[in-house]
Amino acid sequence: MYSKGVVMVEKELRVSKIKDGTVIDHITAGYALAVLRIIGLTGREGNIISILMNVPSQKLGRKDIVKVENRELREDEVHKIALIAPNATINIIRSYEVVEKNKVKLPKVIKGVIKCANSTCITNGGEPVQPTFIVENVEPLRLRCHYCKRIMTREDVIDQF
């Protein structure tokens, strides 16, 4: 019985808990590598990074998880993650404990984070005009350019990350 129990535990173990850093959980399945690109991590920085892809999730069916040791996220990074993974939760870990848990949230208006996909848009014309989008829908993502009214989808956004 005892050894059977141990085997059961090993079956459940996917990656270790982290000591200090950030766990980005409930990422849309298949988008973990995009999240790493957003944070600008290549793996050559030296800190431990764990990536789980397509793991079963009660809420989402399948999900990705990214665990990064010794790194916290900036607000602009969280906004970018929200664009591709609207259900993601950002957990801050200190001394193995989750000290903060926040669901990503998109602001109603997104300024200066992504470019308009319309090459003739005034925001792409070298004018000092910040690209600005109104979030019309989160899932599926629909952003409308404030200037040229072009609709941007998740695919248009992911191309930029």
Q: Rule CB under 5 A: which residues touch Zn ion?
A: 116, 118, 121, 145, 147-148, 150
Q: What distance in Å separates the CA atoms of residue 19 and residue 25, rounded to the nearest whole number? A: 16
Give me the DSSP letters along 22-35.
EEEEEEETT-HHHH
Choice from 25, 38, 113, 121 touching ligand CTP (CB under 6 A)? 25
83 binds, among ligand CTP, Zn ion, none (CB under 5 to 8 A by kind): none
Question: Binding to ligand CTP by residue 77, rule CB under 6 A?
Answer: no
Task: Return d(Cα 136, Cα 106) in angstroms, integer.
Answer: 11
Please report how close the Cβ of residue 93 comes to ligand CTP at its closest, in angstroms: 5
Using DSSP's 3-state secondary structure scheme, residue 78 falls into helix
Burial class (CB in 10 A: 0-12, 13-18, 19+), 61: exposed
- Give the C-alpha separation, 88 to 82, whole Å: 7
Run of H or E residues at 128: none
Q: Is 24 in the site for ligand CTP (CB under 6 A)?
A: no
Which CB atom, from 2 or from 96, has the smaller least distance to ligand CTP? 96
* 2, 74, 96, 108: which one binds ligand CTP (CB under 6 A): 96
Nearer to ligand CTP, 101 or 111 (CB): 101
- The CB-of-141 to Zn ion minimum distance in angstroms stands at 16
Task: List interacting residues with ligand CTP (CB under 6 A).
Answer: 17-18, 23, 25, 65, 67, 89, 91, 93, 96, 98, 101
